[in-house]
Amino acid sequence: MSHPALSLKVTRQDPELIAPAAPTPRELKYLSDIDDQEGLRFHIPVIQFYRQSHLGRGRDPVRVIREAIAKALVHYYPFAGRLREVGSGGKLAVDCTGEGVMFIEADANVSVDEFGDVLQPPFPGLDELLFDVPGSGGVVGCPLILIQVTRLICGGFIVAIRLNHTMADATGLVNFMTAVGEMARGQTYLSVQPVWRRELLNARNPPRVTCVHHEYDQVEGTIVPFENMVHRSFFFGPDEVAALRKLVPPHLTRCSAFELLTAALWRTRTVSLKLDPAEEVRVMCIVNARDKFNPPLPKGYYGNAFAFPVALTSAGELSAHPIEFALQLVKKAKNDVTEESMKSVADLMVLNNRPHFTVIRSYVVSDVTRTGFETVDFGWGEAAYGGPAKGGVGAIPGVASFYIPAKNKKGEKGITIPVCLPAEAMDVFVKEMDGLLETGRLAGETSKKMTTPFITSAL
């Protein structure tokens, strides 16, 4: 289990700006019409834990990473600039000033192991490990990336990152951090060259919305209440996924684990919130669209290149049917992402003043199990944990969950999913999900109890 009462003390040095290590072009670079939509105008936190390693013996991670960032920014120089709005429509563009990204050097009085047997969000002391420097968190005119490197008493360290989401998605951020890692390990070249090319995801001329986009519906109502929210992470290993698979008919058993888990979570979450049966509910599956284009987007493209395809039904229908009902809706939604639908979204952004995606009675899920946060190597090997620092989208709790690669105490590989709900709803969620898993086990002709607890952390 993790330790929410961890006695953490962090000593930080004054924030500094790290500029590119060599001169870079001074120019204005426009974001794409997918990048600068209202729903991405926030900062997203990521965290990586590294254990002590003989590979990095005698080296200071703060110095190594600081110097590597400067070198990587020569190639990713837009990150060293500042966003500004251009024209009366508020279009975002990067003024490539070369000012740099914000960097914080820190030391903490704890070891990696004190964060728990299983590293997963929510992490205690996150605000200390990723300090919100006053005045740095805006979208326009602020540093686009903030990085805090915190040494630990065990010889390990933590790298916490805050990214202005309009600049890049998870794949793009991993591309940049991988470049930092390569510079830190002494490489003189990047394995993947960054590609700007944001015009590839701009609106057409003239713009024309050719697809239905329920992800941007204007919906009346209230979002999940902020009060008394509970954060918990749930581990789904091979046994749990197999149990859920037993609950769907044979023609659906070849679905992906992502589709299956999304269906189960969406239904269970809806039941736990006790919504009016007539109310409309939706789940949005974040889908990387890079390979949906013909030809695919360039490998080094680091802008936002994902869609929010929507599965939509009523709370009553979703709750009354078995998970196969939700599963079929999820599978169809994922298949709706095409090159044409992405172009249609870009056109919608221009025609409708960049609307925010729908948050009312919505649940957003994002699979980062293959993104590669944990593979970033600064010279100490791969991270013991790498991925989102918490659940949620921006300042809106309870709306989103990430699917994060993880291992349980037995070393089995699986997926950790942070969930945030009001306390009463969380109790129902746990009971409903446990019931689904037990039913699946019985359907699989086994009544063996789980050998590892379903709930793996709570705060």
Separation of alpha carbons 370 and 387, rounded Å: 11
pLDDT of 444 = 72
Within 13 Å, how many C-alpha atoms sit on residue 452's CB side? 21
Active-site position among 169, 239, 347, 377 = 377
Separation of alpha carbons 46 and 24, rounded Å: 27
| pLDDT at residue 459 is higher than 50 | no
Active-site position among 43, 75, 165, 213 = 165
Under DSSP, the state recorded for 134 is: T
Helical segments of 76-169, H only: 126-129
Start-end ranges of CATH 3.30.559.10 in the chain? Answer: 10-201, 214-443
- Name the pLDDT band for 135 (thresholds 50, 70, 90): very high
Torsion of CA 324, 328, 331, 334, to 10 degrees: -130
| pLDDT at residue 227 is higher than 80 | no
pLDDT of 157 = 98
| pLDDT at residue 223 is higher than 80 | no
Q: pLDDT (tens digit, 9 = 90+) per residue, 158-173?
A: 999 999 999 999 999 9
| pLDDT at residue 449 is higher than 90 | no
Between helices 257-273 and 323-335, what is the axis angle to 10°? 120
Among residues 314, 307, 310, the alpha carbon closest in space to that of 329 is found at 310
Average pLDDT, the chain: 92
Q: pLDDT (tens digit, 9 = 90+) per residue, 249-291?
A: 998 888 999 999 999 999 999 999 999 999 999 999 999 999 9
The first and second tokens of residue 5, run together, are 């009462």
- Name the pLDDT band for 322 (thresholds 50, 70, 90): very high
Q: pLDDT (tens digit, 9 = 90+) per residue, 171-198?
A: 999 999 999 999 999 999 999 999 999 9
Domain range 214-443, CATH architecture: 2-Layer Sandwich (3.30)
CATH classification code of 10-201: 3.30.559.10
| pLDDT at residue 375 is higher than 90 | yes
Q: With pLDDT > 70 as the criterion, what percentage of the chain qualifies?
A: 93
Active site residue 377: yes
